[in-house]
Amino acid sequence: MWGARKLSSSGSLFLNVLRFRYLGTQSGCPRFTTSAVYSKNQLSWTLQIKPWVFHEYRIMWSKSYRMTFACLNTMKSYRYPWARPYSTSRTTVDSSEVKTFLALAHRWWDEQGVYAPLHSMNDLRVPFIRDNLLKTVANHQPGKPLSGMKILDVGCGGGLLTEPLGRLGASVIGIDPVDANIKTAQRHKSFDPVLDKRIEYRACSLEEIVEESTETFDAVIASEVVEHVIDLETFIQCCCQVLKPGGSLFITTINKTQLSYVLGIVFSEQIAGIVPKGTHTWEKFVSPEKLESIMESNGLSVQTVVGMLYNPFSGHWHWSENTSLNYAAHAVKQEHPVPAETETEELRAQASTNSSVHEELKK
């Protein structure tokens, strides 16, 4: 049996001849397949017909269950945005962001250069991290309040925040996907023998160390990082995985508002030149509400969200109730819940012990 139909593609009409081939019967039901024949450079179409039962009036009901299309040879390089290939190796690193920071790797420790706002931000973020961590510690050593704590600094750059935390006594691992950043950080810490022992740097992404570092750290810090990742949910999930139960996650980032676009990108990058052009992408900015929602869904209890404001004229930061620009967040990983059965058994054991004590007292 033969049939013909026309198919339109990019405004052109192609005559396509469909050939139906009878394959015999199976359990009283005839089976058919169809195939389409085209020239080499034209659209390829494969249609398969699923067998169905003939009705008494010999009308065959059929249903197409598979149809695949192959693009024209001239369009092989094009990929539809909704048809991206799935990859099992998920990454949060944006290669374009890596290139941006690679060009600036040698400028991290220039306190008057492009990273001057980050140097100044330490006046807020270091005490913010220290004070919240000390709430979980009964006693601490004077001069080394974070002694005994293990901290992961994600996206550490040249070590601007890593080093102050090391000076507070913490054992810190700083990771960054830009190898040149890590080399700058290692070179700078080598001038201080104390820091050289407390700080370790690795050129890698967060997801690369998740398996080996599950529930390892007392605190994870992602300061001015989440606005540069390509998969925020995966990033937060990885942060939660490497945290110990009861550990803290600290994030500083930029809110996604019209004001943050005007001041954070137009003014800071294009007019005043406070940060290099192309450093930020407004679409990657995240609101406190969205960030809280992602953290809560990953077993993190949000403790604090507070605004931060930068004065470009004085070069200083200060805290604010307004979170429409920059803000800091602190969340704590919830303790593992006690299974109901285990809890019941413990209560029974305790009740049995109490009854034995009462019997002994009666005697």
Binding-site annotation, residues for Mg(2+): 224, 227-228
Q: Considering Cα of 261, then 267, then 270, then 273, what sign does the dihedral take?
A: negative
d(CA 90, CA 237): 12
Instruction: Find residue 152's DSSP bridge partners.
Output: 173, 220
d(CA 147, CA 198): 10
The answer to whether the beta carbons of residues 245 and 84 sit under 8 Å apart is no
Q: Are strands 63-70 and 44-50 parallel, antiparallel or unpaired?
A: antiparallel
CB-based burial label for 322 (10 Å; 0-12, 13-18, 19+): middle
With vertex at residue 235, the alpha carbon angle to CA 246 and CA 331, rounded to the nearest 5 degrees, is 30
The answer to whether the beta carbons of residues 20 and 32 sit under 8 Å apart is yes
With vertex at residue 123, the alpha carbon angle to CA 245 and CA 193, rounded to the nearest 5 degrees, is 75
Closest CA to 195 of 169, 217, 177: 169
d(CA 187, CA 89): 31
What's the one-letter identity of residue 37? Answer: V
CA atoms within 13 A on the CB side of 280: 28
d(CA 229, CA 338): 34
d(CA 81, CA 120): 40
Binding region for S-adenosyl-L-methionine: 125, 155, 176, 223
Instruction: Find residue 34's DSSP bridge partners.
Output: 20
Alpha-carbon separation of residue 226 from 95, 261, 288, 341 (angstroms): 15, 16, 12, 39
CB-based burial label for 206 (10 Å; 0-12, 13-18, 19+): buried
Binding region: 125, 155, 176, 223-224, 227-228
